[in-house]
Amino acid sequence: MNILVYEAREDEREALRRQGETLGVELTVCEEVPTLENAALAAGHQGVSILGQGQITAALLDAWHALGVRYLSTRTVGHDHIDLGHAKSLGMRVCNAAYDPDGVADFTVMLMLMCLRHYKQAMWRGQVNDFSLAGLQGRELRELTVGILGTGRIGTRVIRDLSGFGCRILAHSHHENPDVAGLAEYVDLDTLLRRSDVISVHMPLLPATRHLICRETIAKMKDGVVLINCSRGELADIEALVEGIESRKIGALGMDTSEGEEGIIHADHRVDILPNRNWFYLHQFRNVVMTQHMAFYTDAAVGSMVSCGVRGLWQMANGLPCETEL
Ligand code: COI
């Protein structure tokens, strides 16, 4: 089998090489983000593996299909960047990654603590030997109510992690997860928004969840609410976040993902003009911690992403069950 691996980072290459060798698969590895313009790179490959920075539109799928591509893997858990319905209509089989939720959950709790303890400001001051305390008085989690939106694998792991901190935990989700029993109280969305001091979003990006955090929902939250997003940027309307920070309705933001992050994240922009004004504007506030969509980025997760990305294609092409097929 021949596979074209798009968006291969330097740190994936050795694992990709080993995985290909183990499975007897021929891998072509490139850095390009998939687009219609570079679709021809896939000629002669049955399988294509991607990482999630490009939009996999119907037109791109058609182009790949015409070149003989029959299997697609995304080395990501999220798959909102793929037109799955169109892939299905072409008979193209698609799988994703299934790395453990622990890395993202750890990062979520870290952002909560950084926000509650004003750590961005403390770190900035430390750079210039300013070790003063003024303005850095924080809040303790055990005195707070944390609201978790979405109790899939990651939301539930965050709830487990938080249960050791002694805070009250509220949850709201499309499906109630039995693993949450005894750790969090399920409530309706409005109750969670009204009662939570900290709110963290862990939902997939769907038409129904896009801009779940918007002017209307922010207005229902407590004054000074801490908002965390380590899921998908588009779950929160970035204009509404800017207004919330400017008006001080939002006390702090911890965002590993943000709307309009494409073209910014995972690259060095030291000498560039950033392509998104809102992103840059929010980024400079002392009470906004923005990271480069890196919550997933651990040794364990990267190993699993590479393995799912190549093995999944090999399984589907060889008529074997693929546990991550979408
Ligand atoms: C995912 O796995 O869904 C992610 O968000 C990580 C990706 C940006 C590499």
Q: How far is the CA of 53 from the centre of ligand 1 (A)?
A: 9
Contact 226, 197 (CB under 8 A): yes
32 catalytically annotated: no
pLDDT in tens, the chain (326 residues): 999 999 999 999 999 999 999 999 999 999 999 999 999 999 999 999 999 999 999 999 999 999 999 999 999 999 999 999 999 999 999 999 999 999 999 999 999 999 999 999 999 999 999 999 999 999 999 999 999 999 999 999 999 999 999 999 999 999 999 999 999 999 999 999 999 999 999 999 999 999 999 999 999 999 999 999 999 999 999 999 999 999 999 999 999 999 999 989 999 999 999 889 999 999 999 999 999 999 999 999 999 999 999 999 999 999 999 999 99
Side chain identity, residue 149: L
CATH of the structural domain 2-99+298-317, one choice from 3.30.565.10, 3.30.590.10, 1.10.1200.10, 3.40.50.720 = 3.40.50.720
Question: Where are the alpha helices (H) located in 4-101, listed in sequence order?
Answer: 13-23, 58-66, 84-90
Side chain identity, residue 195: R
Which atom of ligand 1 is nearest the CA belonging to 265? 8
Dist CA 185 CA 181 (whole Å): 8
Residue with the two structure tokens 């858990």: 77
Tokens, residue 49: 């593996």
Dist CA 313 CA 16 (whole Å): 13
Class of residue 32 by CB neighbours under 10 A (exposed 0-12, middle 13-18, buried 19+): middle
Q: Order of strands, edge to edge, in the sheet holding 2-5?
A: 26-29, 2-5, 47-50, 71-74, 93-95
At 156 the pLDDT is 98
Q: Where in the chain is the domain with CATH 3.40.50.720?
A: 2-99+298-317, 102-290
Catalytic residue among 75, 232, 259, 311: 232
Dist CA 92 CA 305 (whole Å): 20
Tokens, residue 76: 């990501």
- State which of 293, 296, 308 you would mutate to test the pocket of ligand 1, scoring each by most atoms of that ligand within 8 A of its C-beta: 296
Dist CA 234 CA 251 (whole Å): 20
Q: Which CATH superfamily is domain 102-290 in?
A: NAD(P)-binding Rossmann-like Domain (3.40.50.720)
